[in-house]
Structures are given as structure tokens and as C-alpha cells.
Amino acid sequence: MLPKGATSVSWVKHSWSSIDMMRPVSAFSLTWQVSPTPLQHFAGRLSEAQKWAKQSLDHDPLRSEAHYTLALLHEVQGGLQEAIDRLKKVIYLDPNFILAHFGLFHLYQQTGNPIEAERHYSLAIHLASKLPPDTILSGSEDLTAGQLLSMARAVPRNKMVMGRSRS
């Protein structure tokens, strides 16, 4: 049952934020550490969050944010390949979905694919740079393009590119 006044999409987003607060920071979840929503009463209810995201897709299979939410849920459950596949769907539906590119950067970095990691990092930076810094990014509740750019520049990338170091 949804909390009073919540929609399935807002509930899934809030659920993810609270779940993320309850676990150690992974590379993929860096974007959610800027200002997570403290809704502890949703923590640990992954199957419900997944159910609501899937119901959202049943209603509108082209909803990129619902695919993005499922990618986050796959990642938190250890399904890195499933998360990658779902993020590819997000980008197919919306090539400018910056957080999907940033998520693929981290997932490809984790799974040992430095070429794809670098490609998606560059795309995320390029797309975010084109936006006013205070633009809230799709797929987040309050993460701005400027915050993502600041955070992305702090992410170590030197071990990603094989055979050469970064300065």
C-alpha cells in the first residue's frame, strides 16, 4: 500500500533514496549521496519498489524513469548486468538522460570495461555541461547539473583507461 498522497513514481524514488541511505556507498550510487531523502520506513522494501516500477511500465512501457528505477534496484541487489541492460534501455528511450550515462560509467568501471566507462563518463559530462547549473536532472529529486559536474570531477578515473594515466 502506498503512503497517503504518494504516487507510484514518487514512492519508488523515495524508496530508493531510503534504501541507498541504509547501505554503503557504491560507485553507482554516488549520484544519490548528494541529498538522499530520509524515509527510513521504506528501507528494505525492494520488492515493493520493484512492483511499483513494473506497474508504471505496464501503464507506459516507454517511461525512462521507471526503467532507471529498475536499474537502480538491480544494482543494489547485485545484478550489475541487469542494471547495465536496463540503463541501455533508458538511453535508447532518452539519449540525454544524464544519470543513466553516469550510472553506466560507474557500472562499466566496476565490471572492467574502461572504454565504455570512459565513453559514458564523457557523455554525462558533455550533456550536463550544456545545462544551466541549477537544472534538476531527470531521475533525481533534487540533484542539479552543477552538483553532478562537481561530483563527477572528483571521481577517480586514472585506473580506467588501460595503458595510460590521466592527469
103 exposure class (CB count in 10 Å sphere: 0-12, 13-18, 19+): buried
The pTM of the full predicted model, rounded to 2 decimals, is 0.72
Grid coordinates of 113: 570495461
Query: Which amino acid would we find at residue 77?
Result: Q
Grid coordinates of 90: 533508458
Q: What does the pLDDT look like over 1-58, one tens digit per residue?
A: 334 444 434 434 444 443 343 333 333 444 333 323 322 334 567 777 788 888 888 9
Q: What does the pLDDT look like over 70-128, one tens digit per residue?
A: 998 888 888 999 999 999 999 999 999 999 999 999 999 989 999 999 999 999 999 99
Superfamily for 8-154?
Tetratricopeptide repeat domain (1.25.40.10)
Grid coordinates of 147: 552538483
